[in-house]
């Protein structure tokens, strides 16, 4: 084992690794034999296919552990019908690390309408059925059958957001902590690099499960909490399941303990045991992030997937670069606050340039970097002077109801970075494909940045998420007033006109979000129809664990204010709301008519149907003028073109 002096002292020189200079992490016995290994220290089990790229958590954690001298193997998408597939790499010396993959397995398997998805982006060839429902629980219990006493470490989004009692949309009930159901020894929440490395180092020094207490960024099960200091006890699993008010109180108390600088431990009783969450890990510095993203990844799916055509999800990140993580937007429907955190952590310009040079040297590179971004594209290098010393403020939010004066955008750093990237040989285009926070692009301080990205870094489309046009709904979403979006549109239109470029907005909207009435849905439809916006980026609200919106969905009340909130639960109403937002689709006609009748608003039917150019009467499919649209519908310019 390599001697380690610090949490992140690597066993190799970081810098610009050559693509393909190291082999894939072992996935079978033959791989172990080729390296001359008799066994592994750590085995990672994932619900995703193995793609050796930093945007895939299993690869990132695997390469990190490998860089510290640990022998790491991967079992991806094992057959869960028996324990045999979990034994193919043998018994690990230290632990099994288990993750559902880059997304929650229930969200990966089912749509918001609880129907089976017809494609799994993280599986070979997009094939479905390769991961079980509740993958973390299934995998953990099968490992426990195969190896009774090997430590099990949970990680990834599914485990992270189900660490306490949580509302489960598919069961329509409050489930207990995934730690209880999985019989695991410890759970890593959040991004996980520091906690996982500390777990590995502790087990290597003293291979006992009792050596895993007190690690930041982890949750464990305890029989007694008498030894804990500075802890917050939240309502028990039983109380949260029986009383909506207690469920909301548990959420708020947990929410208040997510600042790494001030948080205490959070405790929730489950029967005669306690689930204990230790404080979050401290934010990573730019140099620490640089080291993580400059590990020697292969930037490819495992060659065993070639016969299936590869892994579809990889295509979206093949030539993209992660520049930062974290988001201080705190949208109610988003779980980033509880996973990546509210403090934005950015890589250095030099590191990003080195990765871009590496990408440009690959034989399959065609000249275009498709994305430089993170959860919010324009938060790279954003900072608040409080973050370095005390974290974020508890008494106010960074962006709502308006941007705090202490929150500073890193636009100058972004411009400098993008200009450096454009100068790299073989790089013809550097695009930003991640979504932008439009309310941070409406003031004078953003003009230079907006001008720069419009001129050089938008491939015709800029992604923003107004989500809705009703201020009542937007307040529940913790989004800015719709007037801010309209201000952005005018600013963007002006810059696009000055550049004489055909660039357009891709608008993302959410239907049936808590607080959205049928009247609100009609208001959105009329707004879109009036401006001839025909959105195709529509999402039905899906209650995912550990978000404020899911609390509202389950309890019908706001967890922070306690006020009652209307929630559209009826499947029929959800269909009507989506149809109104997609008023231009032929299949929407029936539901629009029903909605207008129910609202007694038949007088506006002409405003909707009169602008819907793609209606086809039954039996007349393919007749008349059909329309062809892209996803980017500019709110000031109709991109529809007719077939001649």
CA distance 200 to 66: 11
User: What is the token pair recorded at 460?
Assistant: 């015709």
CA distance 191 to 57: 8
C-alpha dist (Å) from residue 224 to 162, 210, 221, 276, 340: 22, 14, 9, 10, 29
CA distance 51 to 311: 8
Among candidate residues 480, 541, 533, the one with its CA nearest the CA of residue 511: 541
Q: Which residue has the tokens 């204990």?
A: 276
pTM for the predicted model, two decimal places:
0.90
Among candidate residues 238, 226, 210, the one with its CA nearest the CA of residue 265: 226
Instruction: Please enumerate, as own/partner, the contacts of 487-492 that have beta carbons within 8 Å and a separation of 24 or more.
Output: 487/442, 488/438, 488/439, 488/441, 488/442, 488/464, 489/635, 489/636, 491/441, 491/442, 491/447, 491/450, 492/441, 492/450, 492/454, 492/462
Is beta strand 320-322 parallel, antiparallel or unpaired with respect to 345-346? unpaired
Strands (E), 374-440: 383-384, 407-408, 429-430
CA distance 525 to 583: 7
Angle of CA points 333, 335, 340, to nearest 5°: 150
Asked whether the beta carbons of 266 and 254 are under 8 A apart, the reply is yes
pLDDT at 12: 37
Among candidate residues 139, 173, 133, 177, the one with its CA nearest the CA of residue 159: 177
- Residue 238 contacts by C-beta under 8 Å, 6 or more apart in sequence? 269, 271
Q: Phi/psi of residue 186, each to 5°?
A: -160, 150
- Cα 289 off chain centre by: 18
CA dihedral in degrees (153, 9, 70, 352; nearest 10)? Answer: 80
What sign has the CA pseudo-torsion 355, 360, 361, 365? positive
Q: Phi/psi of residue 206, each to 5°?
A: -150, 95
Asked whether the beta carbons of 362 and 377 are under 8 A apart, the reply is no
User: What is the token pair recorded at 521?
Assistant: 């849905």
Name the region of 624 (left: φ>0; alpha: ψ -120 to 50; beta: rest).
left
pLDDT at 418: 98
CA distance 459 to 306: 29
Among candidate residues 492, 360, 348, the one with its CA nearest the CA of residue 416: 348
Angle of CA points 630, 636, 642, to nearest 5°: 45
C-alpha dist (Å) from residue 103 to 107, 155, 251, 434, 545: 7, 11, 21, 18, 12
- Cα 27 off chain centre by: 26
236 DSSP assignment: P
The burial of 538, by beta-carbon neighbours within 10 Å (0-12 exposed, 13-18 middle, 19 or more buried), is given as middle
3-class DSSP assignment, residue 228: coil
Give the pLDDT means over successive 10-residue stretches in the chain (644 positions).
40 39 92 95 98 96 97 97 94 97 96 94 96 97 94 97 97 97 96 96 80 95 91 97 98 97 97 97 96 96 96 95 96 94 97 97 95 95 94 91 94 98 96 95 96 94 94 97 96 94 92 97 95 84 96 98 97 95 89 95 85 46 29 33 30
pLDDT at 6: 45
pLDDT at 621: 34
CATH number of 29-277: 3.40.50.280
pLDDT at 211: 84
Among candidate residues 29, 25, 27, 48, the one with its CA nearest the CA of residue 37: 29
Asked whether the beta carbons of 167 and 543 are under 8 A apart, the reply is yes
pLDDT at 533: 85
CA distance 219 to 259: 16
Structural domain spans, the chain: 29-277, 512-644
pLDDT at 68: 97
Burial 409-420 (b: 16+ CB within 10 A, else e): bbbebbbebbee
């Amino acid at each position: 084992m390599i001697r380690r002096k610090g949490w992140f002292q690597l066993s190799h020189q970081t810098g610009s690794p050559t693509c393909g200079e190291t082999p894939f992490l072992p996935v079978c016995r033959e791989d172990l034999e080729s390296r001359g290994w008799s066994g592994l220290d750590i085995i990672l089990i994932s619900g995703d296919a193995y793609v050796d790229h930093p945007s895939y958590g299993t690869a990132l954690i695997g390469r990190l552990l490998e860089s510290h001298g640990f022998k790491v193997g991967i079992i991806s998408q094992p057959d869960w019908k028996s324990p045999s597939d979990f034994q193919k790499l043998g018994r690990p010396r230290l632990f099994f690390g288990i993750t559902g993959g880059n997304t929650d397995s229930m969200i990966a398997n089912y749509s918001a309408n609880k129907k089976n998805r017809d494609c799994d982006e993280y599986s070979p060839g997009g094939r479905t059925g390769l991961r079980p429902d509740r993958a973390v629980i299934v995998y953990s219990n099968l490992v426990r059958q195969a190896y009774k006493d090997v430590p099990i470490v949970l990680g990834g989004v599914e485990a992270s957001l189900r660490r306490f009692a949580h509302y489960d949309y598919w069961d329509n009930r409050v489930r207990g902590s995934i730690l209880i159901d999985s019989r695991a020894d410890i759970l890593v929440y959040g991004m996980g690099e520091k906690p996982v490395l500390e777990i590995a180092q502790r087990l290597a020094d003293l291979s006992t499960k009792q050596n895993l207490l007190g690690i930041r960024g982890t949750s464990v099960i305890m029989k007694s909490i008498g030894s804990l200091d500075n802890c917050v006890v939240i309502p028990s699993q039983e109380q949260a399941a029986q009383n909506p008010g207690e469920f909301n109180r548990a959420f708020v108390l947990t929410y208040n303990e997510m600042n790494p600088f001030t948080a205490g431990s959070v405790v929730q009783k489950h029967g005669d045991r306690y689930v204990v969450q230790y404080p979050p890990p401290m934010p990573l510095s730019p140099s620490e992030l640089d080291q993580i993203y400059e590990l020697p990844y292969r930037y490819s799916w495992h060659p065993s997937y070639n016969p299936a055509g590869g892994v579809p999800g990889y295509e979206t990140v093949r030539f993209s670069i992660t520049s930062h993580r974290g988001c201080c937007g705190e949208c109610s429907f988003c779980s980033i606050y509880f996973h990546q955190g509210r403090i934005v952590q950015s890589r250095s310009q030099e590191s990003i340039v080195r990765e871009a040079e590496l990408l440009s040297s690959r034989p399959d590179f065609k000249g275009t970097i498709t994305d430089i971004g993170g959860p919010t594209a324009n938060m790279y290098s954003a900072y608040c002077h409080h973050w370095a010393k005390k974290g974020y403020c508890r008494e106010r939010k960074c962006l709502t109801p308006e941007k705090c004066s202490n929150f500073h955008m890193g636009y100058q750093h972004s411009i400098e970075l993008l200009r450096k990237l454009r100068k790299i040989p073989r790089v013809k285009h550097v695009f930003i494909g991640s979504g932008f926070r439009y309310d941070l692009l409406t003031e004078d301080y953003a003009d230079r940045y907006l001008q720069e990205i419009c001129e050089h870094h938008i491939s015709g489309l800029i992604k923003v998420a107004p989500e809705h046009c009703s201020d009542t709904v937007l307040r529940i979403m913790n989004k800015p007033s719709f007037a801010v979006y309209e201000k952005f549109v005018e600013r963007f239109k002006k810059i696009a006109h000055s550049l004489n470029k055909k660039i357009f907005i891709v608008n993302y909207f959410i239907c049936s979000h808590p607080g959205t009435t049928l009247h609100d849905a009609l208001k959105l439809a009329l707004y879109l129809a009036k401006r001839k916006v025909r959105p195709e980026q529509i999402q039905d609200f899906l209650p995912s664990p550990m978000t404020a919106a899911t609390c509202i969905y389950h309890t019908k009340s706001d967890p922070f204010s306690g006020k009652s909130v209307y929630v559209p639960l009826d499947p029929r109403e959800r269909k009507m709301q989506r149809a109104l937002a997609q008023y231009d689709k032929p299949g929407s006609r029936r539901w629009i008519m029903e909605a207008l009748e129910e609202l007694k608003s038949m007088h506006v039917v002409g405003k909707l149907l009169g602008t819907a150019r793609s209606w086809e009467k039954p039996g007349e499919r393919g007749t008349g003028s059909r329309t062809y649209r892209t996803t980017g519908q500019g709110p000031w310019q109709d991109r529809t073109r007719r077939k001649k």
